[in-house]
Amino acid sequence: MQRNASRDTIVALSSGQLPSGVAVVRLSGPKVRDAIISIANSLPAPRIARFGSLRLADGSLLDQGLTLFFPAPNSFTGEDCGEFQVHGGRATVDVLLRTICAIPGCRLALAGEFSRRAFEHGKMDLLAVEATADIVTAETEAQRRFAVQNGTGAHAALYADWRNRLIRSRAFIEAELDFSDEGDVPGSVSDQVWQEISELCRDVEVHSLGYGKAEMLRDGFDIVLIGAPNSGKSSLLNALARRDVAIVTAEPGTTRDLVEVVLDIDGLKVRVTDTAGIRETQGLVEQLGIERARSRAGKAGLVLVLEDMTAPLPIGSLAAPESWKIGTKADLLGRRRQPAGYDFIVSCVSGEGLAELLEAISRKAKDAAPTMGEVLPWRLRHVELLAECRRHMETALSGREAGLELRSEELRLAANALGRISGAVDVEDLLDVIFGQFCIGK
């Protein structure tokens, strides 16, 4: 994004897909007042919605709607901002946008440009920006709560505290270097400094390990269905999804590739993957499917190993972190006693055991998810910068022969890595990537 483009007044539809009951068109920049006066005849009182006629450049009526004005600096972007709330027809919104863009200095906004201006004017740091993007894209209640929590500033406060500790430690070291002969500088502060840096390094490492929980919440708790052909994997997938996702037939080897469905279970995103039936086979395509099934099981949060209780077939050992053995086709057992050795017994025909299995899956997913108030790094960018920070601290701790000057420089680099997480130091090379992930109008 070119720097002089920030002088433009930007406009975009901010309320989502058309047609809709109401459409919100948002503006930001130095020409907002002119645009509002041109279309709404006069400027409404700040932050008070005013209903009235909205007119085109030739004076003809465009629509009846609400107009709002948010003067700088008390606005989302820190610039003059405005909103028109009109009926959400495509033609209405199209002519309104074209009318505004016809005003010199006004143009359509780029993806994430409103949020980028908020960042550039100090209204948001990068952590708040990313949390806002996650709120917009949240698919489940748990994702929404986590995103809202991430926008409260707890992460920024934690990283700022760590960064200040690094800066303070570096100041003590440089004071010892420069003023060791002065009486007001404590003698040999290095031992105290390196003890604190060692503790901080451990804190950063423990904090970084929490990324797995945040990643699970965003991408979904991963469940893989494994079993011999005709063990009921596809039927269970369809039963959990409450729709026909996978093809179910009596012919062995029907499923030859991965079939994935995303579920919302008690507000948590859960991904369930059906796989090829595991058996000895000469078919190349089926062999590839079986290899993928075993590989996928090794990466899952939970593997459900399905077995047809009327004709059980072993599938051998699995390299899976955790697995439950599921006995299927309970409805076909008739009066026969249900066999032992299963964690759950289900029937996709009668529904027997499905509620209990779903409840157990819900508990397992909740245990793997972050708890309310838990401060975790939630993007790979954060983890990479935390790792960079830790590497510099470890280099400083292990570099006794390097001299205090070089060790102090490592602490400076560690502090800069923390600063880049929130945007406290230069992150210009990251901005296009971060804000390019936003929708237009935000």
Q: What is the pLDDT of residues 138-191, one digit of tens each?
A: 999 999 999 999 999 999 999 999 999 998 888 888 777 665 554 444 545 667
The residue-averaged pLDDT of 406-423 equals 92
For residue 2, pLDDT over 60 is answered with no
Q: What is the pLDDT of residue 281?
A: 62
Top pLDDT among 65 and 257 is at 65
How far apart are alpha carbons 225 and 296 in whole angstroms?
Answer: 10
- pLDDT tens profile 209-223: 999 999 899 889 999
Kindly report which listed range (37-51, 280-294, 326-340) carries the lowest average pLDDT score. Answer: 280-294
Q: What is the pLDDT of residue 318?
A: 78
Give the pLDDT band (50/70/90) at residue 309: very high
Q: How far is CA 375 from the centre of its chain?
A: 14
Its CATH class, for the domain covering 141-210+375-423, is mainly alpha
Top pLDDT among 97 and 370 is at 97
* Intra-chain end-to-end CA distance of the chain, in Å: 16
Residue 263's H or E segment, with its range, is strand 259-265
Q: What is the pLDDT of residue 1?
A: 45
| Ranges in the chain annotated CATH 3.40.50.300 | 217-368
Which of the given ranges, 1-10, 249-258, 400-409, 430-439, has the highest pLDDT on average? 400-409
Domain 217-368 in CATH 3.30.160.20? no
How far apart are alpha carbons 299 and 292 in whole angstroms?
Answer: 11
Q: What is the pLDDT of residue 418?
A: 94
Q: Which burial class, exposed, middle or buried, applies to 328 when counting CB atoms under 10 A from its CB (0-12, 13-18, 19+)?
A: buried
The average confidence (pLDDT) of the chain is 87
Written as six digits, the tokens of 164 are 């200040």
Give the pLDDT band (50/70/90) at residue 249: very low
Written as six digits, the tokens of 127 are 């952590």
Q: What is the pLDDT of residue 81?
A: 98
Q: Compute φ and ψ for 45, nearest 5 degrees.
A: -60, 145
Q: Could you tell me what percentage of the chain is helix, strand and coil, using 3-state DSSP and rounding each to the nearest 5?
A: 45, 15, 35
Domain 3-125: what homologous superfamily? Probable tRNA modification gtpase trme; domain 1 (3.30.1360.120)
How far apart are alpha carbons 436 and 93 in whole angstroms?
Answer: 23
Give the pLDDT band (50/70/90) at residue 431: low
| Ranges in the chain annotated CATH 3.30.1360.120 | 3-125
| Ranges in the chain annotated CATH 1.20.120.430 | 141-210+375-423
Kindly report which listed range (93-102, 293-302, 379-388) carries the lowest average pLDDT score. Answer: 293-302
For residue 372, pLDDT over 50 is answered with yes
Closest C-alpha to 231, from 305, 293, 333, 335:
305
Angle at CA 88, nearest 5°, toward 82 and 93? 60
The residue-averaged pLDDT of 357-368 equals 93
For residue 21, pLDDT over 80 is answered with yes
Written as six digits, the tokens of 136 are 């917009």
For residue 286, pLDDT over 90 is answered with no
Is 345 strand, coil or helix? strand
In the chain, the amino acid numbered 176 is E
